Chains A and B, each alone.
Chain A
Amino acid sequence: MRNKKGFSIGEVMVAMFILLVGIVDAVFLTVRSIDNMKGSRDAVIATLLAQEGVELVRNVRDNNVTQETCGTGTERCTAFDPESDYNWPSYNVSTFTSCTIDYATSGASSRLVCSGVSPDDKLYLNTETGMYSHSGGGTLYEDSHLRRRIYIQYSKTNVDPPNDVLAKVTSVVIFGGQNNFPSADNVERDCKISQNCVFAQTRLTSWINYGD
């Protein structure tokens, strides 16, 4: 009779299981910490793009008042004039308007795009120039998985535009697989970095009203 001494299959399996749990845990931890770092990288990109949104809207407001004639009229444009060449959403007392804006629109000035129920808010990366914009398509552009939306909301509801109205401009960027924008009324509450959402906000005055 052979005389065997060794480990049973049960012992071997238990040992392997313990070893595996240890290794898997260690790998999982490092993967997690690298994922976190990637998340903070995306947050930096998104924050800069959110700030860009606010600045571009401010630039539209500023250029509205430099136009000498407005639309088909002969008067000057006001800061929040929907007839201006650079666009502005129509005055809406009851709710916010959802818009998008680019660093460039056909190489000229930026315009706010607010028509339609949901303008395309995806940001595409032009891999040749390295620029983010809402224009996509073709092999040159890739989906950056960033989305930006501008909410414009007037803070006074009982005055006719354009006098003495404040516009609250909120630029929201979502990233990293997040697909739902917080609603404009709850951006401050719901747009959190843990939800892959950042925002920048400012209040713009109607500034110069010629002839008032």
Chain B
Amino acid sequence: MKGKSNGGDTIKKGFTLVELMVSVFIFLIIMVAIVQIFAQQISAYRYARVSQSDLENAQFAMNYISKTLRTATVLGEDGSDLRDPTQFNEDDFILQEIETTHKLVLYDFSQELCMRFSFHLGEQSHPYPGDSALWVESTEGIQFDEIEKCLLDTTYSSNAITKYQRLTSGDVMGTFWVAPTRYDDSTGERKTKTIGRVTMSMTVRPAKTDALYEDKKDHPIYIQTSTSLRDYPPDLSF
């Protein structure tokens, strides 16, 4: 600046109020847009991390069931023996959906234990009672000749050493499609009718207590796999 000079020229120094306001306004708009983009990205990043960990747990649960099935046989769902040759046409391959109010029942030869898997809400004492999850119950010390006991609720409730465990994290629902291995003993000679398999499907959502839940509940992650049973009856060998 040259300082005051002759002749009434206006001398400007700095910005006028209007200029300042306009520039602050423009700056604000740009910043708000940038912050919004970043907030979005951070939330997406957080969802990716949360869902990745929930997904890995669900995958682990599926692998766990598959491995258990290697040394186990499927009986059916709680209260109903799907192997029963008198109840179904014996030659039929019975593939049945185990609905979420029911449980998939297994008998593990390798450890002489009954096991059942089901999807349901947590107990009130559980840290996340509002979230559905895959649960497993098991009861030890069941001999093979009393295998039908695995189908009864009392076997699990009366046994002091029943283990009850949650296998997944987040909010997880799912279904099992089950075909047990079925055979006919009625002629005194065992005849295998069908070799069974289990298809498992899960829908994985963030925990309901997580702020992400509302946003993502309609777009869950769907996973699915199947396992063919290895409980070959003795007539299927040389």
Main secondary structure of the interface of B (DSSP, over half): mixed
Complex partner residue of A208 from B12, B55, B221, B238, CB under 8 angstroms = B238
Docked-complex contact B1 and A131, CB < 8 angstroms? no
Distance in Å from the Cβ of B206 to the closest Cβ of chain A?
13
**A44-B56, A44-B59 are known contacts. Are A31 and B228 too (CB-CB below 8 A)?**
no
A23 CB contacts on chain B under 8 angstroms: 34
Docked-complex contact A104 and B199, CB < 8 angstroms? yes
B34 CB contacts on chain A under 8 angstroms: 23
In the complex, whether A121 has a CB less than 8 A from a CB of chain B is no
In the complex, whether B92 has a CB less than 8 A from a CB of chain A is yes
Docked-complex contact A59 and B195, CB < 8 angstroms? yes
B9 CB contacts on chain A under 8 angstroms: 1-3
Pick from B62, B195, B202, B227 the residue with the most CB of A within 10 Å.
B195
| Per-residue contact bits, chain B 42-78, to A (CB 8 Å; 1 contact, 0 not) | 1011001101100110010010000000000000000
| Per-residue contact bits, chain A 35-49, to B (CB 8 Å; 1 contact, 0 not) | 001101100110011
Distance in Å from the Cβ of B105 to the closest Cβ of chain A?
20
Complex partner residue of A40 from B1, B2, B52, B229, CB under 8 angstroms = B52
Which one of A62-70, A89-97, A158-166, A177-185 is at the interface?
A: A62-70
Main secondary structure of the interface of A (DSSP, over half): helix
Complex Cα spacing A26 to B193, Å: 62
Distance in Å from the Cβ of B87 to the closest Cβ of chain A?
16
A2 CB contacts on chain B under 8 angstroms: 9-10, 12
B55 CB contacts on chain A under 8 angstroms: 41, 44
Complex Cα spacing A37 to B46, Å: 11
Distance in Å from the Cβ of B170 to the closest Cβ of chain A?
13
| Per-residue contact bits, chain A 9-51, to B (CB 8 Å; 1 contact, 0 not) | 0000000000000010011001101100110110011001101
Complex partner residue of A48 from B52, B59, B173, CB under 8 angstroms = B59
In the complex, whether A151 has a CB less than 8 A from a CB of chain B is no
**A3-B2, A37-B52, A103-B199 are known contacts. Are A63 and B226 too (CB-CB below 8 A)?**
no
A33 CB contacts on chain B under 8 angstroms: 45
Distance in Å from the Cβ of B42 to the closest Cβ of chain A?
8
Complex Cα spacing A131 to B224, Å: 7
18 further contact pairs, Cβ within 8 A, besides A130-B220, A131-B177? A2-B10, A3-B2, A5-B1, A30-B42, A37-B49, A41-B52, A41-B221, A51-B225, A52-B224, A52-B225, A55-B227, A59-B197, A59-B228, A59-B229, A63-B93, A144-B222, A208-B237, A208-B238
Q: Name A's B-contacting residues (CB within 8 A).
A: 1-5, 23, 26-27, 30-31, 33-34, 37-38, 40-41, 44-45, 48-49, 51-52, 55-56, 58-59, 62-63, 65-66, 68, 103-104, 107-109, 125, 129-132, 144, 208
Chain A to chain B contacts (Cβ below 8 Å), 12 pairs: A41-B55, A44-B55, A45-B221, A48-B225, A55-B228, A58-B228, A59-B229, A103-B177, A125-B222, A131-B175, A144-B222, A208-B236
In the complex, the 4 A-B pairs of residues with the closest C-beta atoms, listed nearest first: A109-B93, A37-B48, A59-B228, A62-B195
